[in-house]
Every structure is written in structure tokens, then in C-alpha cells.
Amino acid sequence: MSPSPIESPGLSTDSFSIVSRGDLTSSSDSPLVPPSTNGSPLNFALFAVWLASSISQKTSKAPTTIKQALYGPDGAEWRAACLKELSAFKEHQTFSLVPPPSDGRSLGTRWVFTIKDDGRKKARLVAQGFRQKEGIDYTETFAPVIRYDSVRVFLALACCLNLRIHQMDVNTAFLNSDMEESVYVKQPPGFIDSDPAHEGWVWKLHGGMYGFKQAPLLWNKHINRSLTALGFTRNEKEFGLYFKQTADGPLFVALYVDDLLIAAPSPRIISLTKKKLQEIYSMKDLGPVSKFLGMNITQFPNGNITLSLADYIAKAAADQQTPLHKKVHIPLSPTINYFDSNSPAAKNITTYQSIVGQLIFIANAGRPDIAYAVSLLSRFLKDPRVVHLNAAHRVLQYLYTTRFHGLAYRAGSPLQLTVYSDASHGSLADMPFSTGGYVTRLAGGCVTWSSKKIKTTVCLSSTEAEYIAASEAVKEIEW
């Protein structure tokens, strides 16, 4: 027989008390585990991106444990942030306080603290998802998000169709979803229910919670149902893109987890769409688009749109302590042999991997001019040399010199895609593989691009390499 629960709406925020018996920290304060490399070039690239994100996060002054937060110099502010997070759990009726399950299985929880760009302090309560067992705690985990390529297509379409773009953010998005499995978690460290009768009790979750492997999927299912109920149709090839035909014209929504872009033909449709969404979710109205997924986006009164990564580039250069006194105007030097085996090994491999990880993001998000340079440097993630580390810093120097450069899309442009492709048969150092690439343009700006080695076959001539590159470009247009 399952125990009779105490429902979360009946709990007062004041019923959470700071424990004083020395258990402010828990095993859940252990560091996140990086992805395994396993010698695979793809895994090394993923590790590099993870490392870049990790180092960036560690540069903040936010506490790493609940003890540091509550007993530090800003303890009152961090406590208020924690109570705000717990109030959100209450409002969404995310949990019930119950005796532990008969099998005693409950996952730990921990606090994650961040300081926003404007100085606001944010506390996020997350579960120890790494302790979940497949088939017991979850089944499916994959949740679709819009690709960066599709975001740029979205911006270009807005220009072609003369749409205005606004941005919204869902507050505590994952708490809105419904938990499909029976999952129990321990009470949050530092905020144990003060009733002695509830000692050792746990939370039974009714809704999603950050940290669970299935949480993004549960949230995506929920918002997909909501958008579908509002008359939107999900794109069959891009699950993060939604469309609806209105009396004033086409309406698009781009979704990346809990961040939304709304492209509408009139202020009336924008206001109506926001109102309907806010009737379902607690949301922040961020107004006209300005920053989305690390990209600086500006839509001018005439409808033109620009996209740059100036803020991210400046932060990346500062994080990596890249010398910025010298202006650099091309990503790589044409006089340096990057396949020189006589170059000494780099002393700090993780520094190189971190820089390349940031460069991968920048290249994919909005700087096609470094696509080849990033493709080249990514080949040496496992065993970088000094020449490669210097080259990585040079690319960052180039990006900083040109940090205000970006992509531009012109309003009123015809709805027509243009594609260019090119290939190189390869130098002796590159053999036996050739390099191919393409770029597609819409509304006067680049929307997709690629530069990578052709590994499907060994090209016998430059003509064969050109045909393969053209084939890849056609596939991209078909998509």
C-alpha cells in the first residue's frame, strides 16, 4: 500500500528551514562528469565543446555548494533565490512530501547557483540524473531543439515575408510538464521540512525537474501539445519550428527548449500570440529580439536583420587570455605548415581543446568565415602541437578584431535560395582525403554552410571532389 501523501500546495514556504546539523552539503555536490572521449574524433569535439562551457562557467563567482551560498557574504540574497525556486515548485504542484518508497530508492538533489549578466542571483534545484537507471527511472530521453541553421533560415524568412520578431522565455519550464514515471527525490539540501514527523521523508514528483534525463523530453511534449492546441503545425523536418496561417499573414515560432522567437506579420498578431501563451505558462516578455542562444540579433525599423557574436567572442578571448594587442585580418597564416610533425607537443591539451570548442560554437552559430580553420584545428584535438595552439589563439585574435562583423539579411528580398560549393583535391599532408564545402544564401545572407574532409571516398581528381561537394550542397538545399 502506498503511503498517504502530503500535497505540496499545503506546504508553506516558511516550512522549509535551514538545517543546522552539518548536512548542508551532500554527495550531489560532486562535479559534473565530462563526456567520454574514447579516442573518437567526434567525441573529442564534443569534449572540447563541453570543456569550453565548463571553463566559462567556472569564471563566475557563484558559489558551488549550498553551504557556501547560505554562509557566504551574500547569504541573504542566495537564500531568497532558493526560496523563490522552491515557491515555483509549490506553484506548479510539482511534488508531494511522502515517506520513502518501500524499495528505499530516491535520487539526490543539489543546488546550482548562477549570477546573471545584470547581477541577479539565481538558484536552480536539480536532481542527480546521473544516478538514474534506464528502464526504471526513464525510457526515452531525446528532445528536439531548433538547429542554428534553422534559426538563421527563420531570420531570413522573416525578412523575405516582412515579419517582425519578438522573443519570450518560459519561467521554470520543466516544472510545467507531467512526470510519466514514479520518481522520488530527497528533499533539497539546506531546506529540509521542519516538521519532526517528516524526518527522512522524500518528494514524490508529479512534474518534471531539472537534472532528470527525461526532463527535456517531457517539457517538449508539453509545449508541443500547447502550441498544437493554439493552431500551430510543427515542421516535419525541423521539430523546433512551428507555423500558423493568420488573417494578417504567416506566423512562425522557433523553439529552443524554453526560449521562443515569434515572427508575426503585425503587432496585433504578436500581442495576441503572447497573450495566449501567457495564459498557459508563466513567461517573460523580452520584446523585440536582441539576444538568442548567444547570438546578438538586431531587427531595424526597415525590417533588415543583423546577426553577430560580438559578446560571445569578447568573453571567449578573455576566458582564454588570448593576446589582443595585435590586429589579425585572416584566420590562418598561409605560410605556416600545420602538419609539421616536428612542432613540439602542446603542454596543456585541455586549453587547446577548450579554445577549439568555443571556435566550433562560433563557427556553427554565425561565422562561416572560420569554418575551414575550425575544421582544420579540430583534426588535432587528440594530440595538439604548439603550432596548433598558436593557430587557435590566432583565430580568436582574428575573431576579436572582426567581432562586430556578422551576417545581414535584407527585408523584402525574394524567397529564393542560392547555393555555392567548392572543393580541394588536397595537399600531400591532407592525403588521401579531399576537402569540400558549400554555403547557402537567403535574403542576401548566409543561412547554412559547411567545410569538412570528404571521407566517403578517396577522390581520384579535383573534378570528383567538386562533384561530391556539389552533391552535399544539393542535399542541404533539399533539406
Q: What is the 3-state secondary structure (H, E, C) of 266-335?
A: CHHHHHHHHHHHHCCCCEEEEEECCEECCEEEEECCCCCEEEECHHHHHHHHHHCCCCCCCCCCCCCCCC
For residue 27, pLDDT beyond 70: no
pLDDT value at residue 49: 54
pLDDT: which is higher, 61 or 286:
286
Task: Single out the residue of 223, 218, 264 nearest to residue 240, CA to CA.
Answer: 223
pLDDT band (50, 70, 90) for residue 140: confident
Task: Single out the residue of 224, 137, 248 nearest to residue 185, CA to CA.
Answer: 137
Average pLDDT over residues 442-465: 80
Q: What is the mean pLDDT of the chain?
A: 85
pLDDT value at residue 427: 60
For residue 158, pLDDT beyond 70: yes
Task: Single out the residue of 408, 477, 426 nearest to residue 448, CA to CA.
Answer: 477
Average pLDDT over residues 443-472: 78
Model confidence pLDDT, tens digit, residues 389-433? 999 999 999 999 999 999 999 999 999 999 888 787 766 555 567
Average pLDDT over residues 295-318: 95
For residue 387, pLDDT beyond 90: yes
d(CA 403, CA 304): 20
pLDDT value at residue 191: 92
pLDDT: which is higher, 386 or 48:
386
pLDDT: which is higher, 188 or 1:
188
Residues in contact with 11: Cβ distance below 8 Å, sequence separation at least 6, in sequence order? 90, 97, 193
Q: Give me the percent of the chain exceeding a pLDDT of 90.
A: 59
Task: Single out the residue of 435, 448, 446, 452 nearest to residue 475, CA to CA.
Answer: 448
Residue 264 has a CB neighbour count (10 Å cut-off) of: 25
pLDDT: which is higher, 27 or 430:
430
For residue 46, pLDDT beyond 80: no
